[in-house]
Structures are given as C-alpha cells and as structure tokens.
Structure 1
Amino acid sequence: MSPLFNTDNVIDALRKVLPTERKISLHEPHFNGNEWTYVKECLDTGWVSSVGKYVDEFEFKLAEFTGAQKVVAVVNGTAALHIALKLLGVEQNDEVLLPALTFIATANAVQYCNAIPHFIDSEEKTLGIDPRKLSDYLNEVSLIKDGVCINKITGNRIKAVIAMHTFGHPVDLDPLIDVCQRYKLELIEDAAESLGSFYKKRHTGTFGKIATISFNGNKVITTGGGGAILTNDINLGKMAKHLTTTAKVAHKWEFFHDQIGYNYRLPNINAALGCAQLEQLPSFIEKKRKLALMYRAEFSGMDGISFFTEPEFARSNYWLNALVLDSENAIYRDELLEKTNNLGIMTRPAWTTMHKLPMFQNCPRMDLSTAESLESRLINIPSSSFLGD
C-alpha cells in the first residue's frame, strides 16, 4: 500500500460530492419531463403494445441525435446484439473477438448464434479494447485465406470484433478500424453504455457496420427495458426491422413469415417513455459531466487512487463513474466496497472477466493481464444525473 493511501480519505471525498441525507444508489432513472403525459396517452388510447406512433418517433429521434441513418428499437440491448451478429453473417463455430472485461450480454449474444467468444485484452487509457495489442496478437494467431481471417490454432473463421465502450468511454476506434480492415473483420459497436458519447466529435455507434444501445433502467436514458440497433446501411436496417418483428411480410390480414424471425419488438408504451427521456438527454449528460468534474476535483492528487477520465480524443457521457486503485492498493478494493455500501453509498466492482465464468473458461483468449488487473482495481461510484445538480 502506498504510505499515504487511506480508505477513509476516499470516503471523505465521496461525501463531499454526494448528498448525505439518504442512501445513494449507483445509477437511478430520473423522470422529470413528459413521461407521465406520453405513457398516459398510450393507456388512454390502448396503444400499449407493438403498434403505435411512439416506436417510430423514438427511432426517428434517436437517429437524429446519433447521426445514424437507420435505427430499429428492440426489447433490450442483448436482443440488439443478437440480431447485429446474425445480420453480419456470424454462424456456428465462427469466432467473435470481444473484450474479456465486459458485461455478460456481449458474450451471451455470441453464444446465441452458436458462435465462439474469443476474449481479448483492454487498455487502461479507455478501459476498452487495446487495438495495438490486438493487432500484434492477430499477427501471431491468424492468417488470411481467400479473404477470410482464420484462427491458425483452432481452424475456425474469425468473423467479427465487438467493441464495447466501457462505462460510456469510447474505444480508440481509428486504429481498431484499421485492424478490422487488415484482418477482414466486421466491426460491431456495443454502445449499450455510450449514448451521448463522442469519438472525435462523431457519436459512438456510427463507426462500425452496425451497433447496439441499451435503455435498461440504469442507463443514461431508459425505456424500462429496451435497446436499439444502429446502422448507416439502409438495407441492413430494413432487415433488422424485419427480423425483430417476427419476419412477417406486410399484409392487411394474412400471417406470412418468410424466414425465422424474432419477437424482439419494443412496445409502444416503452417507446413513449423513451421519447420523453430523449427530450431530456442533453441535460442529463450535462449534469453527469458536471458530477464527473466534481469527482475529479476531489480525487485530484489523492495518493494511491485516481478518478477515471475520458481519453483526450473523446467526449464521454460518464455513464458510470469509476475509481481506479493503484496496483499495490488493489487489496483494499473490497474494504472500500464494504465501507461505502455500509454507509449507504452504493458502489460496485467491475464485472468478473468473462474467461473466469464457468461457461466461458474454455474459450480462446489472448493474454488478458490488463483486463485482469483492471478488474481487481476498479470501483464504480454513484453516477445518477441528478447528482450533478
């Protein structure tokens, strides 16, 4: 432990930023706009399910905000990832590269396609995929044969890379795109956490051929449950809409489905909530960035621990704020988690890295030393937008 590091100093810094009169959750939704009005309209008119004006409006406004050419609203972010993988042709026994440090939905969606998660390392600068380390790794383990990337060890096709923007902080996309082009890989952005985050002034989720967003109750905006598929390929977007609405061919009365589809439609009542939330999104992000500045000021110069800040090429939404312990202080992570939660300040560790979970232990992986180190040292702290007021 650093000679000046003290867990009580961390708690004092948190108390200076956070209100003290009540228990502080990690991330709460905030309903202060037209939510009641729009949801009540759904109830009054009976348009609560898969048909209604708010789904189209939500998709249009989300496309307008992100700059994506086509948006398809779905039931949750995991369903969005599943469809994204299928649309890019991920098949049984294909390998999909994804960070070991991610939420389990990223890996689960790969398994839904009967494909194989192939875990790769992260970098401390972004908490996401390390494109340079990935390039060196692929140079060792893969070959390009007839325009296809093949894993020399397993013999499987390596089809795609899923870049997850951790806690809302964008991955360094330019070098990652270069890796994808050189190794003939499709890029999927898992932008579940990064609505309102920008990489070099361009919204995340608009760089790969397809991307996904989540609107779970703890995200920047929420539809209760919910997610979306983003793409700049109009035809791909049309197929996403078709597959997520049971692949039903449009007709006044006939039920004809032309392929295996999925009932992944976002209900109108959830979309109504989303429309009201989208109207407040700029103010939510402004408040979250103010909260991040307050945290940064309190932890600036503190020995043994640091507040994670956006990379210089990004403007982040700071979805979940994070503290990172110095390596020698990792043993105090659980003590901090225990103390803060006992005081009513909800904190949590990072996700268990995917390769340590029983169902993924035998999946291929590169050296994951940075991801494992980050897992042992990260602590998420309260990040609700209203805390920035």
Structure 2
Amino acid sequence: MASPRRSWSLSLLPPEIIHEIFYKTPAEALVRSKPTCKKLYTLITDETFIHKHFQRSQEHFLRATDTVQIMDPSTRKNSVLPVPNELLRHPFKIDSLVNTHMVPCDGFMLVEYKMWKYRDDGSRDTNLALWNPVLRNLRWIEPSRSITSSDYHGIGYKDKASDGYKILRFPTRLWEIERYEDEPQVEIYECKTSSWRTLDVELDVGVIIMRNCVAVMGNMYWVAFEQEMDEEEFIRCFDFSDETFKYICFCPPCSYDNSHLASFNGDRLSLLQQDLGSRTIEVWVSSKLGDGDVSFSKYFSLSGPDISALRFHDEAARPFYCLKVEGEDNKFFLTMCQIDENGVRNEKVIERDYVHDYSGSFLCGYVYVPSMIPLPWVRD
C-alpha cells in the first residue's frame, strides 16, 4: 500500500527561513503575490520587512518611455510595466516619459515633466510628482508659484521617521533668478504636511549647477562649476539636515560633457568619465560622505580601440547604457554591458529602433532600487 502523500506549505517553514526567502524575492514579484495569501500579505506590508527588503535589494536600471522597464543587470531580466494611469489621464495627455527628468530616492522617483507650453510671463508649465514604479503609486505636487524653465528639484530627508521626505526647488539661471527676485528662490516641500515653505538661502549666481545629480543618504549632490574658475568642476550638496547648500570637494579633471555622477555602496559618490577623443574611461570613487573631508580616488581606468562612446551627443542620456548609432537609416541600439578594469564585457542589445531624432529616446535612463516603500502620503 502506497504511503499517503504529504502536503507541503510555505507556512510550515520557520519564520526566519520564510523571511530569508522573501528578502531574496524581487519586489515586483512580492507585490504581484499580495492577493494570494493573507499571511503573505501581512508580511510584505509590514514596515520592518519592507525596509529590510529594500536595504538588501540590488540596483537595477529603470528606463521609462512608452512603457516602464525595470532591468536587473545581474540576470538581464526585464520587467515591463505600463505608464501610470495618472500620467495618461493628465489634461495634457502625457503618453510618454521621454521628456522627463527624474531623481531616484529609496525606490521613489521624483518626476519633473516639462511641458513645452509657455505662459504669458514666459515661464513654462512643469508637472512635479512623486512615484513608486513597483507599487504604481503616483501623486502630483502642486507648485507654490510659476515654475521657470531652469528650476531644479531634489529629494531628501533629515529624519525619515519623524520629519519625512522633503522636496527642494531652486532656480539655476542668473537671468531667471533676477527676473523673479520678488518671489521665493529656494523652497522646501514637506511631504508630511503637503505644503511649501521658503528658505532664507541666498543662491550663488556665479555657480553653475549641472543636471547631473544623485540623492545619497538623505542629501542631494550635483556636479557644478564656477564661471570664473575655468569651469573646474566640484560637487555641490544640499544638506537637508540644516537646509543649506555646501561645497563638498573638487572633481577629478575631465571633459564636463562626459562625466556621470552616481551613488556608490550607498554612502559614497562615484564619477564615471570618458574622453571622447581617446575613448578612455576612468571611474573615481569618493571617500565616505559625512566622515569629514571628502575626496575622490581613482577606482580603475580603461582604454583601447574597441571602447564605444558612452555619450556621443550632448543631448544623449547619462551613460547607463553603451549607445551605438549605425548606418544612414538612423538605427540605434541600446546595449547593456559590464565595464570594469578587465574591459567591456557581456554586451547585450536590449532594444533596437529606427528614429529621425534619436536624442529624445535616451533621456530616460536611471539607476534605481525597486522598493515596496509606500509614498509618504499613501498607506494600505
């Protein structure tokens, strides 16, 4: 007589084993599994579990055009999500995220969508939103005043538990700062209270701050330079703890059109540079942020005849991909590759298309950590 078959259930495992399994499960898969089991739903909506899962999650690539693609650089797997309905239902009928600038922070994307419609005063309509692509939560943030074409935004916090997330807004062009001198220049949006407040901060009009930015450990960092110093680049920071702009350190010498600022190991900055002439790539890493004086040291360099231009056009995106344009038909390839001291390896074409204006298709790539952390205003 055959022995009866034993039934098996995940709930039979010790809790610590279950947690360990789910810590290694992608956030997108956990979100899809929410409706399947009450115990599972309770676990993956638990605040402690959510934050531990995020801390153990790896960086992905997020590419947002007519769809939202989240790519795992280790497995080369690609999750495709729709553009949020809140964007599609907008009065301006946004059907693509190509013309956006985004700042990733804790699994959120601070989305700045510039619509090319000018107001009577010459300013441009801009839509600002906070978005979690995995949870598909998005919320518009109403500006306190007309947004100028040079407004920059950042996201950070002093203490997430008590103060919550904050959003920074400031103009960057001298003529717009002077034109709107009667209006607040630097503002903070408190997600906790859904309100803007003006900061008593005077902007240095001699400092040019580039779009190249990253949010690290609750603060914002930009590549910047002073007009009177032969464009020698340095790192500019906005510290959300005392709500001031700060100088951090000088950048290694480079061609400013081909440098990319990013986070490294969660508590440092990295800077990838490439010389267009020789195609030489250099990667620099800073010392730990917040540990006194910060400086960059070279991580590795790479040169050779087979290296592609990571950013071959001024309007092309920051080099999350190795981009190639071939032939007279305006055919472009988006290539994901691994670059280290051993060279360029594991190249994989992830998208092909034919376009007349290729530049817009590249303004949509970001390094992103998938997260189940709900938006500050959204709770289950």
State if a TM-score over 0.5 links the two structures: no
> What is the TM-score when the length of structure 1 is the normalising length?
0.26
> What is the TM-score when the length of structure 2 is the normalising length?
0.27
Higher strand share: 2
Higher helix share: 1
Higher RCO structure, 1 or 2 (CA under 8 Å, sep 6+): 1
Larger Cα-atom Rg: 2
